[in-house]
Structure 1
């Protein structure tokens, strides 16, 4: 690889980090801060507002196979530029929403944008540029989500203290556009050889997917993982509010989680490369189980910070496992097509989680939510261990 291409691949890595830290973090990790002010201002229930996340997630899920195809057919910078406009412009439009149906419609637009801008394009680009160190590269990029969560959790909580939620939505949408659109147009690209090969091989056909027991087990595990993680992340802040903790305390818990999510993303890719999938998964899921026990007894403030640290570390699983696991199971053969399908299943699980959490919280208690997710976490650990029982990661 020439020096020019070496420079370009690290420039792409930096751009992926920044895009994840801005667009992905704002859209997926900060939404819970808006739950309380928006529901109170518009007189909505927790579950109805939580459905916004679900609609966005379902949209992203349904878009995933299409995005997996488009990555191989459309110039990456064009696809991601369109995603930047839809995600940033859509998020800006939340400021104009007056009814819950307007929020739902905008969530669809934002979901399409995020699908074209983040997970699949970024994973495809990095696995093409960093074939021998994909765990490291994916970890760095996904660490952007943790970095952004830490920063935006503090910034947005303060913005909501001094500004209306409408102004906050507008400012954040503008930031997504200003940062992500230039990076998409000026930096993002696939390696020349990868672009040529993908145009030769990739087709939008489920016949190209290698169906197997391992694929089914892996997909079911990801479905449950997405359900538990999204259902937890979306409702941590409302849960802390229900325990009558002040907003500053809640923001500190959120920032603690974000710091450890950053550490987990950086370390997680290296751990995956060095220890293998089964050992890595077992280690991180054990942390999640302990974290849920701490959350169940969240009336002790110190336990909430232990939860935030452990849960933050294991957030490398939803960040890395879909893309890394897809590569481990199938290598580079129709990678974006497989990732599109697997990410669709994962995202559908992510869409269901907040609805379950909101429904139980509205009618029963948050503590029951955490007990259910403890059980679900145990189930997906078993599914992942079975899926990779006889499979060694491919390069």
Structure 2
């Protein structure tokens, strides 16, 4: 019996294969998620002009999607524990691809709202809940944080290429200038639907969680992880209760600060394309989106290092300065 167990411990999944799963998660973030969520703001102005919507009414698509997505996310998490991951991954891909088809045939605001909600729900299946689910299973001990960081920063990498590609495609199917131009065809939505579906299905053929007889942690890694966990537990701060936290003024100051940051970031993230389309060419807006992707990539990689190296206060001060600088830079476009 002991010999069988010893033999089984040698059948550990290689690190190369585990990082192949990380690569598939990266690909998921870069393309299916990038299409489902990151390029949608680029369609705002063309659609507003084409169907004579107001900017305020159309951009509610992002609000509705975010609200419903947050409500659905816990249910998706529970479903992952009971349903085969590949099935849920494919459901998410089909939902998001189908949402793009729905965007392509919609002419009224409720149709666009519904498509936005479906797209957000779909991305929750394969990205918001799906990617961490895969990473956590392949890296139950050492390396989980790094793997998650690598996987999620790929959304920024995808953004670098998807933004200019999307603007080039829109330019091909638009008439008029960037401020008042309208779509002559809804083909871009169908093109992205096919791209999302095809690439998503290809990824789904390979991405998976470990089988029951597969060992993803070696004896050495397991021992090292337990040792580190024990050391961390010895120094662990148990934390305050919710009641204690709610009575701290610094909690409310911190919360207010993040509320302000969130309000500002939402406008930069969701509405920048709609605003810049009135000032710049579609190609230039695509390049701005690429630079945004580069900045996100640098921030994702360097953020953890800065917090570890300089602490919370200095890192937050640096982040605040860059945030203010970005806003000041945007003021130049008002001239």
TM-score by length of 1: 0.64
C-alpha distance in 1 between matches for 2:50 and 2:320: 38
Which among 28, 37, 42 is matched to residue 37 of structure 2?
Answer: 28
CA RMSD of aligned residues (A): 3.0
- Counterpart of 1:314 in structure 2 is none
Give the Cα separation in 1 of the matches to 2:204 and 2:255.
30
In the other structure, the counterpart of 1:141 is 151
Q: What's the CA shift for 1:113? A: 0.6
Work out the CA distance in 2 between the residues paired with 1:219 and 1:113: 30
Deviates more, 1:81-90 or 1:129-138: 129-138
Report the Cα offset of residue 125 of structure 1.
2.7
- Taking the aligned partners of 1:136 and 1:274, their CA distance within structure 2 comes to 17
| Distance in 2 of aligned mates of 1:220 and 1:120 | 28
Contact 1:52/1:107 (<8 A) preserved:
yes
Which residues in structure 2 correspond to 1:1-395 (within 5 Å)? 2=11, 4-130=13-139, 131-163=141-173, 164=184, 166-189=186-209, 192=212, 212=242, 225-242=261-278, 244-271=279-306, 280-299=315-334
Q: Offset of 1:266 from its aligned partner?
A: 3.3
Shift of 1:182: 2.9
Question: Structure 2: how far apart are the matches of 1:136 and 1:4?
Answer: 18
Cα distance 1:172–1:221, how it changes in 2: closer, same or farther (>3 A)? farther
Gaps of 5+ in 2: 1-8, 174-183, 217-239
- Compared with structure 1, are the counterparts of its residues 162 and 34 closer, same or farther at alpha carbon in structure 2 (3 Å cutoff)? same
Q: Which structure shows the bigger proportion of residues in helix conformation? A: 1
User: Is the alpha carbon distance of 1:45 and 1:226 closer, same or farther for their aligned partners in structure 2, counting shifts above 3 Å?
Assistant: same
Q: Deviations over 1:251-290 (max 9, x none)?
A: 2222111122223233345556666666544433432232
Counterpart position of 1:320: none
Number of aligned residues:
284
Distance 1:284 1:133, change over 3 A: farther
Shift of 1:51: 1.1
The one-character-per-residue Cα deviations of 1:148-200 (angstroms, maximum 9, x if unpaired) are 11111111101011125511111111111111123234213257589xxxxxx
Which residue in 1 is equivalent to 2:177?
none
Looking at structure 1, the residues matched to 104 and 277 of structure 2 have their Cα atoms a distance apart, in angstroms, of 24
Give deviations 1:118-156, integer Å, cap 9, x for gaps: 122212332443343333222211222111111111111
TM-score normalised by length of structure 2 = 0.74
